[in-house]
Every structure is written in C-alpha cells, then in structure tokens.
Amino acid sequence: MPYSVNDRRWIRNQVHSKLIGREIIIHDSVESTNDLAKEMVAGWDREGTVILADSQTHGKGRSGRSWYSEKDVGIYLSILVKPTLPPDQVPQITLVAGVALVHTINEFSQARAFLKWPNDILLNEKKVAGILTENYHEDGHSGVIIGIGINVNHARFPIELQHIATSIAMENGGSFERLPLIPALLTHLDREYRSFLEDGLASVVQQWSLNSHMFGMYIALTQGDQTFTGSAIKLDEQGRLVVLLDSGEERAFDSGEVTFQG
C-alpha cells in the first residue's frame, strides 16, 4: 500500500543523519522522483531533502532507459544535495551512493549483493538496484540529484527484463517489509556522503572494491559507438574503471556500459 503520513514520520524518526533525510516528501505516484527533485533546485534550501514515491510512471535509468517502478513493492527515491565540487568529481557521488546502497541491501538480504561499475547492484548476477546521479543547473542554481531504485518485493518483471532483473524477495525466498530499508539507506548514505566531502574518495574506492566481484572478470565496455573488451582490474584513485584491454593496454574509463562476457 502507498506510504502514509505515519510512515513518513516513522522513517524520519529512524534516520540517524545530519544532512540527508532531514526533510522527506512522499507521493503515491509520480512520473519521476529525479524530475521532481530538479524542480526544487532553484527554490529549495533544504539540502538533503528526500522525495519518496510508491510508484513511478516514467522512472529513469542510465542512458535514457526507464526504471520499472511497480507500485507497493519497490523503493523509488531521490535526494537533493548541493556539494561544492569540480564538475569532474560529481560522478564520484554515484560510487558513494553505491557503497551506501550495497551495505543497506546486505543488512537485509541473506544472498549477498555486489556492486557493478558504475551504478548497479547485483544479486545472483541480476540487477536488484540502481543509481542515477544527475548534475542539474537552472537559472544560476545548481544541485546534484541522487536517484535510487531498489527492487524489494517484485515477484515478476516484464519479459524484456526477466533475464537481467531480480528483487530482494525473489533471491531470498520470501517477502520483506520495505519500510525499514529506507531509513537504513538514508543513514548509510548520509555517513558516506559526508565522509566523502571531508576526506575524499580513497575510502569510497576501498569500500566499493571490497563489495564488488567484477575485478578479474572479462568484460565488454561500451562508450557511444565504441566497444572495448578486456579484463577489469580495479578502480583508480578517481573512481575510474581500469581495464586491461585485449591489445595489452591498460586504460582507465570514466564512463561506459559494462557487460560480463562469461
């Protein structure tokens, strides 16, 4: 069932944070929580505000794809932050959110979740959660929108997603109370985000790497109309994915779509 005012109050009381989750706005159904957050960039000074929806009609994924947002079963939210960062460091926030998200899922899931660069969380090699970070500017105002979707109690997916998507419930053999995941996520994200702003990316890269099993795997990485193949080696100090290409060259990628090649 949709979130209630009491649910919002309970979530806020359970969040242990200094910034993220100080304000929580709930909706039954929206087109996109990220798009709602963008509308708030110019006129809202409550950094850390969370927009939480029971469902989305046009949920957004990376590269213009959609995020399947069935009502009552998933977590779909966006957080508005306003960091003072050079533009080339803003994508690192995706890695920060990934660390918080994988820790949250692993608190509740017996099957262990792993990170896939740059923005996916996998359970049994299928996507259970994703992150869409958008750097948004309007009328001299700017903000970073962290969009997060988690498949919690989905029992099925559209045919085109069945081979790549899963849910926490499907991989653990039973349904979950989704409400406790929300304050856990916001608490983790608040801690990781503030640590990142104060201390930089080194700890994030270390935690990210400890929660990924993609290093050593043979991958294809697509950027635009180019595809590169090779073995994923590590994240560098900037959070870029270092790949040993088939040519023998080591190359660091700051973006791209990764697929495992067996």
**190 with 234, same domain?**
no
**120 with 240, same domain?**
no
Domain residue limits at 189: 5-210
d(CA 56, CA 84): 30
CATH number, domain at 244? 2.30.30.100
Domains in the chain, number: 2
Whole-prediction pTM? 0.94
Convert the pLDDT of each residue in 52-96 to its tens digit: 999 999 877 665 566 787 999 999 999 999 999 998 899 999 999
Rounded percentage of the chain residues whose pLDDT exceeds 90: 82
**94 with 78, same domain?**
yes
Rounded percentage of the chain residues whose pLDDT exceeds 70: 97
Of 212, 38, 215, nearest to 137 by C-alpha is 38
**122 with 197, same domain?**
yes
Are the beta carbons of 205 and 239 closer than 8 angstroms?
yes
Below-50 pLDDT ranges, the chain: none
Are the beta carbons of 78 and 145 closer than 8 angstroms?
yes
Cβ-proximal residues to 163 (8 Å cutoff; 6+ apart), any chain: 126
CATH number, domain at 120? 3.30.930.10
**140 with 225, same domain?**
no
**81 with 20, same domain?**
yes
**156 with 229, same domain?**
no
